Amino acid sequence: MFLRLVLRNALRHKLRTALTVLGLVVAILAFGLLATVVDAWYAGAEGASATRLITRNAISLVFPLPTTYREKLRGVDGVTDITTSNWFGGVYITEKNFFPQFAVDGESYFRVYPEFVIRDAEYKSFMRNRKGAIVGRKLADTYGWKVGDVVPLRGTIYAGNWAFEVEAIYDGRDAKTDTSQFFFHWAYLNETVKRQMPRRADTVGVYIVNIADPGRAAELSMGIDEQFRNSLAETLTETEKAFQLGFVSMTEAIVVAIRVVSYLVIFIIMAVMANTMAMSARERLSEYATLKALGFLPRRIGSLVFGESLMIAAIGGSLGVALTFPVAAKFGQAMGSLFPVFNVSPETVLLQAACATTIAVVAAIVPAIKASRVRIAEGLRAVG
């Protein structure tokens, strides 16, 4: 009987309830999407491995490191593997087709990054073709590339027109893996650089150092940097996560703004919901007074209001959460490679549910107290 009363009260003003539910759906959906955008911002850092260190030029990332460092790094106790990576920065047809391109040591790179899953036959084809490229599944889907296609890139850092042949398409080991990257042979890059800009030859952007024990990351980082102190190119070594967070920190103001907006949305719908509940409770004062006269205790009257608020929030919240998945999928597609990983996390769903519950509870507090405290004699007079 209690639940029936709550349900029928919630549906008494169908338009008002429908509009409130719609507002909740939009708010919870917007909150979920914005939280997913923030997650996407941190996806690189979240997907980072604890066993990988990044060694770069201490002055700036734009300055390279000599390839001769590789053997010295290999000699550091605790280092299990090493690979290299160079930011290429090419343009595919127009500037708006942005995606990250790296010249890598194909032999070691995919050993250090086991999360990039490649078919053996395709990997072998890539290794045989000096102009070969490995592209992520999301990137290939975005531009409709398939194995055998030629991808022309206009160099910006490394001038000239470049052409790469797609030899392999990699998939992610899990949902957190970025599959929007483009890899090709560093050796091919170096050959060209040697001819055109000999001074920039035999250098790499960063070293990626695999270590056996993540607990020694700080010690090994200091040890590596110590080794290259007072050299021509001093190094700065940090964990992959710290390296990725360094990029995020450059845009932290945007992340903060997104977070503020997402909570503002929740605050606004909370005010709307509180108004709805207050209106409903005010209209029903005589009914609450009647229930009290019949012997219902104040807490039971209050729980009627809370129940109604929770029911509306549950409907709106559930719809909002359910819609977040397809909308986020579309949004992620529309964003292309801007957000390589754009997945709604379980934490986001939990946050959405927590927000919907908080909205329901906060919105109902004052109306519930008023309803439970209604003086019977006065409340009954509210009729007619």
Q: Which residues would be at the binding site for other proteins (CB under 8 A)?
A: 1-2, 4-5, 8-9, 12, 286-287, 290-298, 376-377, 380, 383-384
Query: 208 vs 285, which CB is nearer to other proteins?
Result: 285
Query: 10 vs 65, which CB is nearer to other proteins?
Result: 10
Query: 130 vs 373, which CB is nearer to other proteins?
Result: 373
State the DSSP string of 241-259: HHHHHHHHHHTHHHHHHHH
Q: CA 259, CA 35: separation in Å to the nearest integer?
A: 7
Sign of CA dihedral 62, 68, 74, 75: negative
State the DSSP string of 92-108: SSSTTS---EEEE-HHH
Residue 206: closest CA among 60, 42, 78, 46: 60
| Residues in CB range of 77: below 8 A, 6 or more apart | 223
Minimum distance, C-beta of residue 44 to other proteins, in the bound complex (Å): 54
Query: 346 vs 384, which CB is nearer to other proteins?
Result: 384
Are the beta carbons of 23 and 316 closer than 8 angstroms?
yes
Minimum distance, C-beta of residue 20 to other proteins, in the bound complex (Å): 17
Using alpha carbons, list the distances in angstroms from residue 26 to 18, 162, 254.
12, 46, 22
Query: 148 vs 384, which CB is nearer to other proteins?
Result: 384
Structure tokens at 196: 């055109």
Residue 52: closest CA among 103, 116, 119: 116
Query: 15 vs 377, which CB is nearer to other proteins?
Result: 377
Query: 214 vs 298, which CB is nearer to other proteins?
Result: 298
Minimum distance, C-beta of residue 14 to other proteins, in the bound complex (Å): 12
Query: 4 vs 96, which CB is nearer to other proteins?
Result: 4
Minimum distance, C-beta of residue 12 to other proteins, in the bound complex (Å): 6
Minimum distance, C-beta of residue 10 to other proteins, in the bound complex (Å): 10
Minimum distance, C-beta of residue 291 to other proteins, in the bound complex (Å): 8
Minimum distance, C-beta of residue 361 to other proteins, in the bound complex (Å): 23
Query: 16 vs 216, which CB is nearer to other proteins?
Result: 16
Element (H, E) at 359: helix 346-372
Minimum distance, C-beta of residue 296 to other proteins, in the bound complex (Å): 7
Structure tokens at 368: 């519930």
Using alpha carbons, list the distances in angstroms from residue 195 to 133, 189, 192.
21, 10, 5
Query: 232 vs 294, which CB is nearer to other proteins?
Result: 294
Minimum distance, C-beta of residue 369 to other proteins, in the bound complex (Å): 15
Q: 3-class DSSP state for residue 184?
A: strand
Minimum distance, C-beta of residue 4 to other proteins, in the bound complex (Å): 7
Structure tokens at 124: 């072998």
Q: In 10 A of CB 96, how many CB atoms?
A: 8
Burial 120-145 (b: 16+ CB within 10 A, else e): eebbebbbebeebbbbbebbbebbeb
State the DSSP string of 105-148: -HHHHHHH-TTEE--HHHHHHHHH-TTEEEEEHHHHHHHT--TT
Strand pairing class (101-104; 132-136): unpaired
